[in-house]
Every structure is written in structure tokens, then in C-alpha cells.
Amino acid sequence: MKVAMLELRRRPGRFAPALVALVLLTLLLLVLGGLLDGLANGSTGALRAQPGQLLTYSADSKLSLVRSHLDAATVAEVGRVAGVQQVGGLGVVLLGAKVPGRSDEANVAVFGYQIPPRGVPAPPDQVGDVYADRSLAAYGVQVGQTLEVGPGRYPVTVVGWVRDTDFLLQGSLWGSEATWRAAIASARPDAVLAPGTFPVLTVVTAPGTKPTDVAAAIDAATGGATHTVTRGEAVDSLPGLRQQRSTFNSIIYTTFFVAALVVALFFALLTLERIGLYAVFKAMGASSRQVFTQVVAQAMIVALVAFVIGGLLAWAASFAIPPEVPLQLTSARAVEVLVGLVVMSALGSAISLRRVVRVDPASAIG
């Protein structure tokens, strides 16, 4: 093993081509993963943060928050279904927001809520007060500021921050029901809803109940006027999300495969060049396993070093990237890339196993 380490230390240039390729691959994988996470999280935050296990939409809305609406009578009916512990209305309107001191507008999603989502305090008492998602800080938003939303310039005041609650890549502003209705009235008269009407309901199920059963019960109770799904299903049905995820994932898997190929080819060549050396080792009494372990160890270390360098580059790049590119480098993703890279390198180097085993120690002589 020591020989393998010493070679890496004394002859690093030999491994440079593989290292460069793997650094680029690491960068690509981290950026892909980061974009996938950023795009997904930035689209789904508001829904993932919902406190209830279920979300109820109107049946004809095809699970679209924008198209759905439920009148007061339906809301009351849902509240009466067995297994429903709590029902809260949820509404959203997508608007542009003028930030003091900035020329460009921020894209915001103004939410009205009754039951606080994860990490969000209870709805502010004052109409016009909102909690802002941290993502808006990149657009110059600060606590205490008053933003003007929509073409009607409806004023909202930021009273605090919340995290990971964005919707459709727009920064969320969380206000009381009254705030949200006022914003709609100002900006989108065509989307005004009668008092008591909400687009969507957050449903908290009673402990011990199965959410899917309660969902079915709700839809039955409303005579099919509603379509109730679990939070996870609601998240998944956001337009484009599934396609985005499968696109990115296919690119990611392909990239892992390419990494294995790069390592395989590089170490196959290295082994070929070192057949003489391996013959000498074997002549001196090294087993094929000992020789092979060195090859695999070298591959894994090169992968590890490539990951560190690539990781640092990705981290540095995340500062240079403009705010509208939703790159989110999470530690979970980093671990996944590290493990994948190291495993692929080990597998790639394993291609040399047969060659190593076939090296004839007798060739060291004569």
C-alpha cells in the first residue's frame, strides 16, 4: 500500500490527466445536482412546508394552485369529515415587487395562510405585514422594508425572514388572509375570490389515521367536487417538475458512468505501462491481490482529491453565479457525489484486475 501512496506523492504528474478529467466531472455533477435541488426546492418550498399531510384542490383544477378554488360551503364540509383535525385555507398570487433602492423587480408569490407552514410564525395581525423568504435577500429585500407589489403598487412590509418556502422559483411573502385578498384586489381583479373562498386547503389529519383514507373520505364527502392528495403528490404535480428531475437525473447517471470509464481507461493504461514493475513485485513475493489493492487504492485517492478540488471550485462558482440561477449546494448532494465518484473509480480500476492477475512473475527474469 505504501508504494501506491508514494507513487502518488512522488509522481503526481502521472495522474494529472485522470485528475483533471475527474475534477471537471465532479464540478459537473455538483452543479447538476445543485441546479436540480435548487430548481426543485425553489419551485416546491411553499408546498413542502405545508403543515398538513393533505392538500385539497377543486376537482376540475388538475392540481393547479392557480386554477383551483373552493367556496366557503365546501371548506366547511371538508372540516366536518372524520379524520380531519384541522383545515386551513391557502391562497397565492404571483406578482412583481418593487424593492426600495433597486431598479429591477423581484418576482414574488404572495401567500395568504391560516395554519402556519413549517418555520413560519402565525399570520401577522397587521394587514400588509408579511414574512419574506430568505431567497429575496439576493434581490435587496431587508426586514423592515416596504415593498410595492403588483401593478397597483400594494404596499407590504417585511417583518421577518423564513426559509425554503419559495413557490415556482418566486420568492414567497407570507401574510394573513386579509393581506393576500387585498393584494389580489389591487393587482388581479380577475382573480378576486369571494370571502371564505380559497384556492386550496391545507388539511391536518388526526393522529392514527391514514392520510390516503382521509383523502378519499374528503372527496367522497364533497361529492367529488374536491381532489385531495398527499403533500408529496401535490409537490410532484407541479408543472415540469417530474420532467426536470428525470432530465437532470439521466444526465447525472450518465456522468457517473463517464467517470467510471475515464478511470477505467486511465488505469488500464497505467497498468499496461507498469507490467514490468508488477512482474518484479510478484517475483519478490507480492500476491496479485496485494498488487491489485494498490491500483484500486490509487484510483480511489485520485477520485477523493478530484472531489475536494471540484468541490472547492463549485463552491467558489456559486458566488459568481447570478441570483436567478437557483444553485443550491447541499451536503447531502455532496456526499452522494463523493460516494458515487469513489465507487465508480474503484469499479473503473477493477477493469485492470484481469491484467494484474495474468502478469507472470517469471517475466521479471530474462
Partner 1 sequence: MPALQLDNVRKVYQSGDEEIVALDHASLEVGDAEIVALVGPSGSGKTTLLSIAGGLLSPSEGRVVVAGDDISGYDPKALTRFRRDRVGFVFQSVNLVPFLTARENLLVVADFNRADRKAAGARADQLLGELGLGRRKGNLPGQLSGGERQRVAVGRAFMNAPSLVLIDEPTSALDTKLGEQVMELIVSEVRARDTAAVIVTHDLRMTHYADRTVHITDGVLESSG
Partner 2 sequence: MASADGGGSGFALGDVLTTASGGHPVTIVGRASQSQFSVQPTLFVTFDTYVALRRAANPDATAVPPSAVAVIPVAGVSPATVAANINAAVPGVEALTRSEAVASAPGVSSVQSSFAIVVGLAVAVVALVTSFFFLILTVQKTAPLTLLHAVGAPASYLIRGLLQQVALVLAVAMAVALLMLWGATSASGSGLPLTVEPAAVLASTVVIVVLSLAGVGFSIWRLLRIQPVQAVSRQGLGGTE
Q: Amino acid identity, residue 142?
A: Q
Residue from the set 249, 273, 308, 312 that interacts with partner 2 by CB under 8 A = 273
Residue from the set 19, 39, 110, 295 that interacts with partner 2 by CB under 8 A = 39
CA dihedral (50, 51, 57, 62) positive or negative: positive
The minimum distance between CB 291 and partner 1, in angstroms, equals 9
275 binds, among partner 2, partner 1, none (CB under 5 to 8 A by kind): partner 2
d(CA 66, CA 64): 5
The yes or no reply on residue 178 touching partner 2 (CB under 8 A) is no
Q: Identify the three-state secondary structure at position 143.
A: coil
281 binds, among partner 1, partner 2, none (CB under 5 to 8 A by kind): partner 1
Residue from the set 126, 247, 254, 287 that interacts with partner 1 by CB under 8 A = 287
Cβ distance to partner 2 smaller for residue 80 or 354: 354
The minimum distance between CB 292 and partner 1, in angstroms, equals 13
DSSP 136: G
Size of residue set near partner 2 by CB under 8 A: 63
User: Angle between the 16-48 and 241-273 helix axes, to the nearest 10 degrees?
Assistant: 160
The yes or no reply on residue 246 touching partner 2 (CB under 8 A) is yes
The yes or no reply on residue 60 touching partner 2 (CB under 8 A) is yes
Q: Which H or E run includes 203?
A: strand 200-205
Question: CB within 8 A of 273, min separation 6: which ones?
Answer: none
97 binds, among partner 2, partner 1, none (CB under 5 to 8 A by kind): none
The minimum distance between CB 201 and partner 2, in angstroms, equals 17
Cβ distance to partner 2 smaller for residue 78 or 97: 97
Q: What angle do CA 131, 71, 182 make, to 5 degrees?
A: 35
Sites for partner 2 among residues 316-355 (CB under 8 A): 321-322, 324-327
d(CA 95, CA 107): 6
User: Angle between the 72-80 and 211-221 helix axes, to the nearest 10 degrees?
Assistant: 130
d(CA 219, CA 237): 18
Contact 177, 123 (CB under 8 A): yes
d(CA 303, CA 311): 12
Measure the N-to-C terminal CA separation of the chain; round to a whole number of Å. 27
Q: Nearest-CA neighbor of 216 among 86, 78, 87?
A: 78
Cβ distance to partner 1 smaller for residue 5 or 308: 5
Q: Which cell numbers in the block locate residue 76?
A: 366547511
The yes or no reply on residue 366 touching partner 1 (CB under 8 A) is yes
The yes or no reply on residue 197 touching partner 2 (CB under 8 A) is yes
Residue ranges that bind partner 2, judged by CB under 8 A: 17, 20-21, 24-25, 27-28, 31-32, 35, 38-39, 42, 60-62, 67, 69, 94, 107, 151, 153, 168-170, 185, 189-194, 197, 239-240, 242-243, 246-247, 251, 255, 258, 261-262, 265-266, 269, 272-277, 279-280, 321-322, 324-327, 363-364
Residue ranges that bind partner 1, judged by CB under 8 A: 1-3, 6-7, 10-11, 276-277, 280-287, 290, 361-362, 364-366
